Chains A and B, each alone.
Chain A
């Protein structure tokens, strides 16, 4: 065997190892987090951890329901807010816009996607929170600081906008041009074509993209932490403060490690987050891959 072949073989082996190791990171994270959350899992049943609403670390009571509900409220609100805006924007870009418009819109979306979480947090505190406190809340409740589910939902909604728009554009672009042409030649308007041909054909892609955006929104930490209010309790409405899981981890980690089981409980929180994000990602990616493949 000559030197060149040997080099090729060695390189192949090395690169294969690197790829496999990188894949195994997924497993390593899951195992690491699970091992760390074992103590709290042993001390209480899974259902009392997930559905208990008593959060008293000093007494060893860890009910995650307030945090889970906080995450659910904030995430759903963010998606409900971002979904229509991103759908209409993506339809406009793929079905209506001239190349000129695209050259203008893409950099804007780039900027929106590039801005760091903490910058959105600052903006939320300076703009969204006072707006809610002064203009929205007075119509419904006596007093609100503005640090609410609503504020977190709006900030988060804007943060997932660029992701949703770019995923939707990809999905819509995979609809064959012939279908559009057929529809238009039968006398349908552009909107009818967009609605009955493009959207209908893209349903699974839209769903997968939304699930992906949900999982992105769930893990967002700093921006949400800055505007959510961080009060432990079940939120009952948009103007209540909330305390999503990432905020819980970020706020307490490293500080309360002297309390028994507390670290383990926080690791369990990270594990919940990881598992949900993992499942959502797997499902939506598999659907999106299939769409991509059809396209080819």
Chain B
């Protein structure tokens, strides 16, 4: 009897041990991949990195390995992402506010809206690119800064809305009731609500900027590529991911090295955004009542 009991517990313990081992292995695998990706990009990129790369436009012989840098791609990316983030915020803040303040909890419209934005969130960026391109043909636009901005805005609105909506979920409804009972209209509660979900808005913005700046498939046909910095909305614009992609396919080693340098710049930007996002969620909840 005693013997049997012992056996069972040994079996239990062995299983527990194996399970734990598998978990540790899985975690280790994840860590190894992260380190491998970051190390590969860093070690390859740092060799070709120089001040010229990030401060100069491509020179005459840039694509055969001569002078110049990829400032055009950095500025192009920043222009597109900056403008679409602004447009995205203008559209999504009211929508989130509407979903959370004007609609009641069991609302059918709110359910459908959330579902629609989740679905839009899942739509691949290449589909946005293709759809954006047809829209541009429709309106008689060529590949341009404007085209890139439109498509990236479409791409990030669902991300904006869903992340901000998540943040507003935890928002205490008692505050809303307090405002309303003091005679405020629902529109006037905006001032209070925005202050409450401000960290959520900030995190959502950083997340969307990160997604937007790294997306290549959607800007490929809509923003095009150019060696100069666009001076108007109708000119094409270069972007960092495409700078990596195009230079990587070059047969000349110096040019390929520059692709690695561009990848390093892109990775650095995205990492800073991601870390800042975590930081804000952790710290900036000063005005928050919980």
Contact = CB atoms under 8 A, between A and B. Distances in A.
B130 interface: yes
Interface string A96-133: 10000000011111111111111111110111000000
Contact of B115 (A8, A125, A218, A286): A286
Nearest to B222: A254
B221 interface: yes
B15 A191 contact: yes
A260 interface: no
A165 B161 CA distance: 22
A229 interface: no
Q: Is the interface of A mostly helix, strand, loop or mixed?
A: helix
B124 A218 contact: yes
B34 A108 contact: yes
B64 interface: no
B214 A117 contact: yes
B153 to A, nearest CB: 11
A84 interface: yes
A19 interface: yes
A221 interface: yes
Interface stretch (A28-36, A141-149, A234-242): A28-36
Contacts of A289: 111, 114-115
Contacts of A116: 213-216, 241, 266-267, 270
A58 B166 CA distance: 49
A22 B130 contact: no
A222 B91 contact: no
Interface stretch (A10-18, A41-49, A62-70): A10-18
A253 B122 contact: no
Contacts of B126: 219, 221, 246, 249-250, 270, 273
29 contacts: A11-B187, A12-B102, A18-B94, A19-B98, A22-B157, A26-B119, A33-B134, A86-B26, A88-B22, A88-B23, A107-B275, A107-B278, A108-B31, A114-B214, A115-B267, A118-B214, A118-B241, A121-B245, A122-B41, A123-B41, A158-B37, A194-B19, A219-B126, A222-B245, A277-B122, A277-B124, A281-B122, A282-B119, A285-B118
Interface of B: 12-13, 15-16, 19-20, 22-27, 29-31, 33-34, 36-38, 40-41, 44, 91, 94-95, 97-99, 102, 109, 111-120, 122-131, 133-135, 143, 154, 157, 161, 185-188, 207, 210, 213-217, 220-221, 241, 244-245, 248, 259-260, 263, 266-267, 270-271, 273-275, 277-278
Given A22-B157, A253-B130, A253-B221, 20 more contacts: A7-B187, A15-B102, A22-B117, A23-B113, A23-B117, A26-B120, A33-B127, A89-B26, A89-B30, A96-B23, A111-B34, A116-B216, A119-B41, A119-B267, A122-B40, A190-B16, A219-B127, A280-B122, A281-B122, A285-B115
Interface of A: 4-5, 7-8, 11-12, 14-16, 18-19, 22-23, 25-26, 29, 32-33, 36, 84-89, 91-92, 96, 105-123, 125-127, 158, 161, 165, 189-192, 194-195, 212, 215-216, 218-222, 226, 246, 249-250, 253-254, 266-267, 270, 273-274, 277-278, 280-282, 285-286, 289
The 8 closest A-B pairs by CB, nearest first: A219-B124, A116-B214, A88-B26, A15-B98, A221-B217, A8-B185, A92-B23, A270-B130
